[in-house]
Structure formats: structure tokens, C-alpha cells
Structure 1
Amino acid sequence: MDILKSRRRFLMQMAAAGTLIPLSSSGLAHCLLQGQQEVPCLKVVFFIIPDGLAVDSFKMTPPAAGVASHDGKGLWFPKTEGEDTADFELNEVSKELADYRGQSLYLRGLILGPGNVGHKSWDNILRDSVSSMRSIDMVLGDAMPGNQPIHRSLFAGPHAGIDGTPWYVSWDGANIRSPQQSPLRLYESVFGAAPGQRRQQQVRNTHVFEPIREDIAALRARIAGAQRGKLDAHLDALEQVAKDLEGVEPAECQTFALEDHPISSARYRNEVQANHHKVVAAALACGVTRVATIQVGRSAESLNILDVSASYNPHHCAHGVGGEETWKASRQWYVRQAKLFLDELKRHTDPDVNSDNLLQHTLVVLTSEMADGSPEHTVDMPLVLMGGASGLLRSGTGNGRYFDIKAQGDRAHWTASPDKLVDMQRIWATLARAAGTTVPYGGNIEPVTGIFSNVT
């Protein structure tokens, strides 16, 4: 029975972690040195919500097929006359984040892909423009591992894909990653057994990996030639998982209880969402990981938000089917979840600088796979960077910052003419540079200046 439980946890950890890269390739290793306290270590969380943030006005005429109409007069972008300023007024949706205005950088002038692929853009919101490479959370996870290498990049999916539509935003090359949909399963995959049982769990893990290694050896013996080379890459990754799990002590963190709510029930939507926040924040606070993605729902999702409407699902609300009030309230609900996650981070002590809270050394990136869910375009993408970020984020001197980056644009679009817009993959290239690594993307990956203090 112990072996079966160990194997189950092993499979759950693989599901939570995705395909791994060997730890020897990781950067920023100084954050892992034993005995070095009070060394700031950046953590990054991507918070992805579906169906846009209402960047356009409610009454804007929907576009013709293949055309991305856009007026930019919606509920998201702060109101201001400046292009780089702390003098701005938060809008009807962005004001949900008012408590964290002073630690926020609102960017404007971004485009994702060609601007008009609609819901298909879930597959490249965190990736390169041609949807072929690893997503930025995986890139950062390899460069900034925590104390459990298998959890380089945690992927939480509150209500993502529960209707059988696996439109997930995290990718390892051509392989899509599946998030942990249940916060209880996410907790178990990260923290495993109760503290008193962890040492015994390590001993059991040594035995559970033996049949895995035997299977690997048997497969390699049966296959030769070109097929052997293809197989080796996959088996090497599996063997690395086994080594990572054997060699790392489970996190010695204070355990906490989570209520088991049905994850497909609209009635418990708020509770399930909050539990995901708790697990991700705890994993960061314990040093288990330094990178995580929280995907709320999925593009065109169908599970009602009862706080907004019992009659119209979020996709209907994004299209304004239920009227202007539910259109606005649904976008506010999603952004409010990001605010509640920031609250959760603020409650924890940072694992590296014990005099600070976790948010002071975390960068939270809030965006969506679309700019607006009614015209379904990706022009003028919403993006706000929040948190202390170990002092790296140039968010102003206490009142927050609004920064229109079109002057650094590289992509033309008729709605922005004569200006150009910044390709989203350049933001990920800039973030990677700030974290001490690079993205493996083709095309323009020139960093955008003025966002991070260490990227010029």
C-alpha cells in the first residue's frame, strides 16, 4: 500500500511539474545556497484570466469576420493624458486593484499574434508569437528553481478545463501542460504527507523508483537506431524526475487544512479559487518553487460566476449577452481574484528575507488571452505588473505608474496606425532578462526598456 501511495504521488508530481530540464542547467543558483539568509530571490506568478478585460466600450460594433475592431474606450486602461506617468485614474475594472496601485505598472501598447485570432490565442499568450516554443513560466522555472526541482513551474488551474475543453496556457515546446484543477490535489502534489511522515516517505520513494528504472532500462534495450534517440530524450526526463524526487527533502512547512469542494460546481467557485491561492502562496513561501501560473477558467468558459449571474455564463457576459451590468461585473470578478491572491501573498513571510512579506519579492503578472472578449481581438492587450519584485519593477515612487510603450513598437496594425505596437513576446524576453536568463524565441526579442531596473 505504501508503494502504491508513493507511485500515486510521483504521478501527481509529474502532472504538476510538466516536463523537466535537468537542474544543472539552472541559473541564479545563489538563491539556493545553504545557510545564506536574507538574500532577495525573485518569485514570479502569472495570473491569467479568460475573455479579455473589456479594453473596448460596451456598445462598440462587433467586427466582421477576421477583422479586429478596437476603440480602447472600455473599462480597463487607467485614464490619463500622459504616456509615462503616475498621474492617472483607475478605471471601472482596474480599480479592483486599487489597494496595490503603489506597486503596479500598467503597460499599454501591446499586441498578441496578428491581433485577430480570438479564442485561439490561449495557446500563445505566454509563448512566442508563432506558438512553437516553451512558455515563459517554463523558461523562468528552469532558470529560477526552488528547493524542490520537480516543482520548477507550478501550474494551478481553478476551473480551467473542467468542461473537457483543455485550452491551457502553459507549454513545454509543442507539449501542452495540464494544470492541477483541484486545490487538494495541488496541495498533495506539492506537500505530500504530513510533516511527521516525510522522512519515512523519502525512504519509501527510494523503493518506488526501482521499477521505474527497470522499465527505462528494458525499453532502451528493445529499441535501436533513430527511434532510440527520440526515446532517450523522453526517458532521460523521466529519470531526472526520479532523481529530483529522491534527492530533495520535502518542504518542512506548516501544514494547513483545505475543505474539499466539488471543483465543477458554480456554488463553490469562490472557495475553490481561494484554496488555489492558498496552496500557490504556501509553495512560494516555503521555497518549494519560485515560479507559478494560475489560470482562472479557460477562454470562452462556461461555468457561471454566481456572484455575477446565475443565468449567463462568463463567456456570455464577456459578449454582453446579459447586458452592460453583467459585462462589467464579470470582468471585475476576475480582476478581484487577482487582488485576493495579492492579499494572500502579503500574509506570508518571504522565505529568503524573513523581515519582509512574500509580496515584496514577488512579481505578479496579470493578463488575459484576449484584449476584449466581445470583438475577440488581441490588439492593445491588457497587462499589469504588480508586487515588490525585489526592487526590480519600475513602478514609480508610491503612486503606481502608467506606461504607454508604443514608442518602442515593432508591429504595425491598422487600429494603431500610424503608431506601432509591441509584440507580447518581447515582454516575456524582457522579463527573462530581468530574471537573469533569455527566451529561446525567434523573431524580435529586443527587450523593452523602462520596465525593470536591471534591463536597459
Structure 2
Amino acid sequence: MDLLKSRRRFLMQLAAAGTLLPLSSSGFAQYLLQGQRQEPRLKVVFFIVPDGLAVDAYSGAEHNGKGLWFPSAQGEDTADFELNEVSRELADYRAQSLYLQGIILASGTGGHNGWLYAMRDSQGSKSSIDRILGDAMPGNQPAHRSLFAGPHAGIDGTPWYVSWEGDKIRTPQQNPVRLYESVFGGATREARDRQLRNAHVFDPIRADIAELRGRVAGAQRAKLETHLDALEQVAKDLEEAVPSLCEPVRPEEHPISSAQYRNQIQAAHHQVVATALGCGVTRVATIQVGRSAESLNILDVSASTNPHDCAHRYAGEAVWKGSRQWYVRQAKLFMDELAKHADPDVPGDNLLKHTLVVLTSEMADGAPEHMLNMPIVLMGGASGLLRNGTGNGRYFNIKAQGDRPHWTGGKYVDMQRIWATIARAAGTTVPYAGDVSPVTGIFSNVS
């Protein structure tokens, strides 16, 4: 009975996204040796905000690109630019920023269905870029190879999430305390010892599967093999896990569906994700703020108009602008949090120096609901790989490298090529159909 309870408890932990797992003297030695090598290792965070960033002007023709986001630049590739009313929220990190323009998501139309494609291939059929990177560049805890934090994403029961495992949508952890527990639940010695014992729960499961193999054939056997492969992957993750030596701070508990605590919940997610990166638990994370057409008010902006209606300009220009500024300000605050943490691989450096933060949305503008001229900025030290100028930041219009035609004129760069380019910079590739040629001029190690 005790074994059965342990097995159930262990599998429930796995279903909840896992915990810090086993500890061995060899693993400890590996951790120490890794620290001595002092080799920089890139971390990547995708920061996704909903309903666009007002790329078009408040009034006038659609698709004009003259709204509140894109910098006013003196050239197609230049450090001579002025940040706009929304992008100005990131002014503190201008020197570490590369603003891109000339990108299209999927067909450029589709409104709120952009969440189906935002971080994936243009057909919406493959894994999202965070999962691809997580598999290619795991941290010390492979079970957490790609964290997915969802401050206020889907709390109204609408699961429009941007991260995908193949054709299966991933559900983010909406509660930062639960996210903390899933990542750092094994931080105490007692919990670590218990998890090490629980690892042996796999032995009878393997035996059961091995016995069943001889009794089934065809499609049933194929299903059994799939389950066994998944089990072996979890077991491998356990064996490769390395203990975390940091002491994470547990976030405070707040109601996650209350507009009153929106800022606190958001900040707590920042804290947990940054700590996981700083502890070396993971090297890849996604923070999805809200969801497309989200309904939870931002009290700093309006107590009476929800963010979706703000994006649609139903309540006037002030809240349209204020809501877009609030979202971008959250990305700035996350950057601040990264800068507070030490890098786990290079002593003396802060975490931000070796992190690439990608800020974008599932659409370009929330009023006409299009996905043309997508707002995207790459920020952070990125271990020196990001070509963001020589100290004043950089604006780069990549439309000349376009591959996807649009009726508004000319060709635009398909968003999946941005993900292909980031994958190349991280040492891997994307399994996407169509054009996945890298965009030149973004990373020093990609041409």
C-alpha cells in the first residue's frame, strides 16, 4: 500500500510539471566542475503579451505602422532612432535592444487566432520554439527544460496558450506559488531524499510494461511503446538532474483571478522564473501575460474597461495607450529581476548578461486585429551573441529579406524564420516546413 501511494504521489508530481529531482555525489561534483569551467551558457525567455502593441496609429489607415511601438529611425539599420510612446517603457535597456520591423505572422490575418501560430511554424502544426530550445539546451533539471508561466493567462477558462508540444497545447502554471513548488519543491534535504527513494517507483512500472509487451501487437503495442518511451525519458531526466545549491524565496500567496493583485501576481512570476534561471534549473522559459482578448482589468489603467476593449480603442486613446504601456512595462520589470540574479555559469556576471529576452505578441494591433508588422524586440546580454549595436541599441528593418508576400505591398519576413534564426544562434534547428532560412544580421554566430 505504501508503494502504491508513493507511486501515485510521484506521478502526480510529474503531472504537475515535476520537481527538483535526485541527488548524487557524482551529480554534486558535476555541478561544482561546471561552476569551475566558467563557460557562458545562453538562456532564452519569451515574454508574450496579448492583443498587439499598437503598431498602427489611433486613427487613419490600417497597416500604416505609425502607431505607438516602432521607433522613429533614421535608416533601415541604424543606432540613430527615438523610442516611441510604448517602446519607451524599455528605455533603460535600449543599449541591449534590437528592434525588428518587417515581420508577418502566418497569413497576416486571423485576429485572435494568432495564438495558434505566435511561437510556432506558419502552419500551426509543430512544437513552439520554447519547447524546441528546451530540448536542445536543458538546465541542471531536465524535467524543467522549458518553464511555462502564465500570469493571468486563461484564468477565465479560455485556454488560448502560445506554447505547444507538437500538436498538443501546453497549459501554463497560472499560480506563481504553484510554479515555485513545482520547480523548487525538492529543495529541502528531506524532500530530496524522498524523491530519490520515489525514483525506484519506476522499477515495477517498467516490469509491468515489459510483461505487457508480449501480450499485445499492432496499434496497441505502438501505444505501449509510446508510454515506455515517455517513461524512459522521465527516468533519464532523473538520472541527469543535478542538485540546486541556491536558496529560492517563496512568493507570497495572492488570489490569482483578482484584478486587485494583478501587479503582485505578475511580479511573483518574474521572481520564480528568474530564480529558476539563476539556479541553473532551466535555460528556457516562456511568460505569457494574460491571453488574447483577455478580460481581467488592469487597475493601473482602468477599473471599468478590460484590456481587450482598451486594445480595440472602445474607451478612448488614453486607455489604449496606457494598456499597451503597462504590458511593456512588465517586460522591463522582468529585465530588472534578471539583473538582480547572479549567472549560474559565470561567477561575477549577472543573469541578464547571458539571457536573451524576446518580447512579442500574438498579433500586431488589437483594433484591426492583424498580424502584419509584428512588434518584436530582442533584449539582454545574450552572452554577446545579439548584434544590438555598439552601445546605443539598434533598429533593423528586415523587410528586404522578406519571403512572404502580402496584399499591402512587398514581402515580409515570416515569423517562423525569426524562430529558426534564434534556434541557430542557440545551436539547434527548427522542424518547420517552408522557408526556415535564417535572417542575417541578428546574431554574431548566424549568417
Q: TM-score, normalised by structure 1?
A: 0.90
The offset of 1:227, in angstroms, is 3.0
Amino acid at match of 1:52: G
Amino acid at match of 1:112: L
Paired residue secondary structure (1:16): coil
Other-structure match for 1:452:
443
Other-structure match for 2:59:
59
Seen in structure 2, the aligned counterparts of structure 1 residues 161 and 253 have a Cα distance that, compared at 3 Å, is same
Distance in 2 of aligned mates of 1:210 and 1:181: 33
Distance in 2 of aligned mates of 1:164 and 1:369: 18
Seen in structure 2, the aligned counterparts of structure 1 residues 192 and 11 have a Cα distance that, compared at 3 Å, is same
**How do 1:240-279 and structure 2 match up within 5 A?**
240-245=233-238, 247-279=240-272
Seen in structure 2, the aligned counterparts of structure 1 residues 218 and 353 have a Cα distance that, compared at 3 Å, is same
Conserved? CA contact 1:364–1:386, under 8 Å? yes
Distance in 1 of aligned mates of 2:401 and 2:31: 33
Q: Percent identity?
A: 71
The offset of 1:38, in angstroms, is 1.3
Paired residue secondary structure (2:383): helix
**Pairing 1:16–2:14 present:** no
**Pairing 1:151–2:144 present:** yes
Other-structure match for 1:50:
50
Unaligned runs of 5+ in 2: 19-29
The offset of 1:73, in angstroms, is 1.0
Distance in 1 of aligned mates of 2:350 and 2:6: 35
Seen in structure 2, the aligned counterparts of structure 1 residues 53 and 224 have a Cα distance that, compared at 3 Å, is same
The offset of 1:58, in angstroms, is 1.2
**Pairing 1:296–2:289 present:** yes
The offset of 1:32, in angstroms, is 11
Conserved? CA contact 1:32–1:146, under 8 Å? no
The offset of 1:298, in angstroms, is 0.6
Amino acid at match of 2:12: L
Conserved? CA contact 1:195–1:252, under 8 Å? no
The offset of 1:195, in angstroms, is 2.5
Amino acid at match of 2:47: F
Conserved? CA contact 2:245–2:279, under 8 Å? yes
Count residues in correspondence: 435
**Pairing 1:162–2:155 present:** yes
Q: TM-score, normalised by structure 2?
A: 0.92
Distance in 2 of aligned mates of 1:211 and 1:310: 55
Seen in structure 2, the aligned counterparts of structure 1 residues 165 and 211 have a Cα distance that, compared at 3 Å, is farther
Amino acid at match of 1:431: I
Conserved? CA contact 2:99–2:378, under 8 Å? yes
Other-structure match for 2:273:
280
**How do 1:105-254 and structure 2 match up within 5 A?**
105-210=98-203, 212-213=205-206, 216-217=209-210, 220=213, 223-245=216-238, 247-254=240-247
Conserved? CA contact 1:202–1:249, under 8 Å? no
Other-structure match for 2:389:
396
Conserved? CA contact 2:35–2:344, under 8 Å? no
Conserved? CA contact 1:50–1:297, under 8 Å? yes
1:378 paired residue among 368, 371, 378: 371
Amino acid at match of 2:49: I
Conserved? CA contact 1:266–1:306, under 8 Å? yes
Conserved? CA contact 1:51–1:372, under 8 Å? yes
Seen in structure 2, the aligned counterparts of structure 1 residues 194 and 36 have a Cα distance that, compared at 3 Å, is closer
Amino acid at match of 1:362: T
Conserved? CA contact 1:13–1:190, under 8 Å? no
Other-structure match for 1:409:
402
Other-structure match for 1:345:
338
Conserved? CA contact 1:2–1:204, under 8 Å? no
Distance in 2 of aligned mates of 1:218 and 1:316: 58
Other-structure match for 2:324:
331
Seen in structure 2, the aligned counterparts of structure 1 residues 314 and 219 have a Cα distance that, compared at 3 Å, is farther
Conserved? CA contact 2:31–2:242, under 8 Å? no
Distance in 2 of aligned mates of 1:31 and 1:70: 51
Conserved? CA contact 1:15–1:178, under 8 Å? no
Paired residue secondary structure (2:429): coil
Instruction: Please report the RMSD computed on the Cα atoms of aligned residues, expressed in angstroms.
Output: 2.2
Distance in 2 of aligned mates of 1:104 and 1:367: 13
Distance in 2 of aligned mates of 1:421 and 1:442: 17
Distance in 1 of aligned mates of 2:211 and 2:148: 32
The offset of 1:194, in angstroms, is 4.1
Distance in 1 of aligned mates of 2:428 and 2:376: 21
Deviation track 1:368-407 (CA, whole Å, cap 9, x = no partner) reads 0000001000000000000000000000011000000011
Seen in structure 2, the aligned counterparts of structure 1 residues 130 and 211 have a Cα distance that, compared at 3 Å, is same
Amino acid at match of 2:148: F
Seen in structure 2, the aligned counterparts of structure 1 residues 5 and 52 have a Cα distance that, compared at 3 Å, is farther
Other-structure match for 1:26:
none
Amino acid at match of 1:326: V
Conserved? CA contact 1:111–1:380, under 8 Å? yes
**Pairing 1:441–2:432 present:** yes
Distance in 2 of aligned mates of 1:257 and 1:422: 42
Seen in structure 2, the aligned counterparts of structure 1 residues 123 and 197 have a Cα distance that, compared at 3 Å, is same
Distance in 1 of aligned mates of 2:255 and 2:9: 21
